[in-house]
Structure 1
């Protein structure tokens, strides 16, 4: 039987952490749930104790968000692993759909769903940002060819359409310990997917909005979009797909499209 674990990545004291934990504990497919953190504190411990969850502390904190992601991705032994971001929530069938699809396509390196945004505690299924990302994912709607390198890279060549907390990883197929770890602050996820696109295996897109990504003033997404490194990092990744003049143009267009992530 396929095993699946939610690793809830907790940081400092998020008011939404308990909501996230409740959503992953309330899955139809009973996944294992643990908490990973680089900032152990009494707030996280109290919630872990309340739900009888183990806390796994990163022994090498402070290196950056990408290093925290890789720690969370590799800190448990499970066929499938989802890094649940502390501010987000998951629909009850999320892990069930991931396992069902992996059983059909066991060569998948990553599996991921569509998602909705949570703004002011309301679910948002349609906006400019979501429409663009769904358009970019169209090549991956054809599951039978989603193991082809050209198809995987086609979906990434114009921007990052994959929502990181919606992703489930198959460690056995990825065969790498370092996927996210880098000095980037904004394009960490996109960098990881670009690396994964070169690894033999399938990008499996489950075209259902199975998780909610919260957009608020204290979220990591909002914070990193306010930094000056964002355009530089996007340009660096675009150059892996395009010549420099095209990369510059796409960087400018993509920067404008991402403004809907801000409050």
Structure 2
């Protein structure tokens, strides 16, 4: 067993939680698996007991960043993947990530390409996925993994990295990785900050997990409430002058529609 933990963030009673757990127990490389939640209930407890997983209850402040940070803190291993309860991981996900990490001398994070789960069907290609892969083209060159300029270029037109596909190197994030500020761009903010770190972003180009798109997901809820536009604009201002950032944010907002069923 490698020094790695899958920390599953469970919320309320997701009908997909058990499928996520099963995809993690089926990994070709065995790892630690834990569940963290700020909404404890009999459903989550029963699944934790069924699969003999440690269950941690966040009794402090809750929210996306707070819950992810809580789950991260419970992992005591060198590497941590914050798994989202609705998503599915290919059996080779961790094996692919570890191979990516081995290719780096000083890794910060490792993340994989991903597909989407829509109405129970795996989707490997659509307009949004294609755009994200184009944005990540510089990081297909391993020699650019350590380039701050290349990493920031990839992030400057949107967030092309799927958050649940990301594995964190604990020594690079000894404190909490996520800042409590945004409702939707928690991971993009983390990546923007980490892009300035000394080290490497390891990009695994194989589709190694699937992100589920459904009406009750947090992303769909945020988009439905139109809470994302201002956050996007503020993120683009980290890369561009305000006038350009406003134009990019307006165009970027149209892509959010594809996160709804």
TM-score range, shorter chain: over 0.9
Look up the match of 1:230: 228
Q: Aligned residue for 1:87?
A: 86
Alignment partners' CA distance in 2, 1:2 and 1:236? 38
Provide the residue aligned with 2:213 in structure 1: 215
1:198 equivalent in structure 2? 196
**Is 2:2–2:30's contact at 8 Å kept on the other side of the alignment?**
no
Q: How far apart, CA to CA, are the structure 2 residues paired with 1:14 and 1:244?
A: 39
TM-score by length of 2: 0.97
2:61 alignment partner in structure 1: 61
Aligned pair 1:167/2:143, yes or no?
Answer: no
Give the C-alpha shift of residue 247 in structure 1. Answer: 0.1
**Structure 2 unaligned residues grouped into runs of 5+:** none
SS in 2 for 1:133: helix
Q: CA RMSD in A?
A: 1.2
In 1: Cα distance, 2:156 partner to 2:181 partner: 21
- 1:11 maps to 2:11: yes
Once the two structures are TM-superposed, the CA of residue 7 in structure 1 deviates from its matched residue by 0.6
Deviation at 1:178, TM superposition (A): 3.0
SS at match of 2:53: coil
- Alignment partners' CA distance in 1, 2:70 and 2:204: 25
The list of structure 1 runs, each at least 4 consecutive aligned residues, that deviate by more than 3 angstroms after superposition, is none
Corresponding residue SS for 2:246: helix
Cα pair 1:4 1:95 within 8 Å, conserved: no
The offset of 1:38, in angstroms, is: 1.0
Task: Using the TM superposition, give the Cα deviation of residue 204 of structure 1 relative to its aligned residue in structure 2, in angstroms.
Answer: 0.7
Contact 1:34 1:54 in 2 (8 A): yes
Structure 1 residue 2: Cα displacement: 4.3
**For this pair of structures, how many residues does the alignment match?**
261
Partner of 2:242: 244
Whole-angstrom distance in 1 between the partners of 2:137 and 2:197? 20
**TM-score normalised per structure 1:** 0.96
1:153 is matched with 152
Displacement of 1:132 after TM fit?
A: 0.8
- 1:95-149 residue CA offsets vs partner (Å, 9 max, x unmatched): 1111122122141111000001000000011111111111111111111221111
Task: Quote the residue 2:45 is aligned against.
Answer: 45
Counterpart of 2:97? 98
Distance 1:100 1:134 in 2: 20
Name the CA distance, whole Å, in 2 between partners of 1:105 and 1:27. Answer: 22
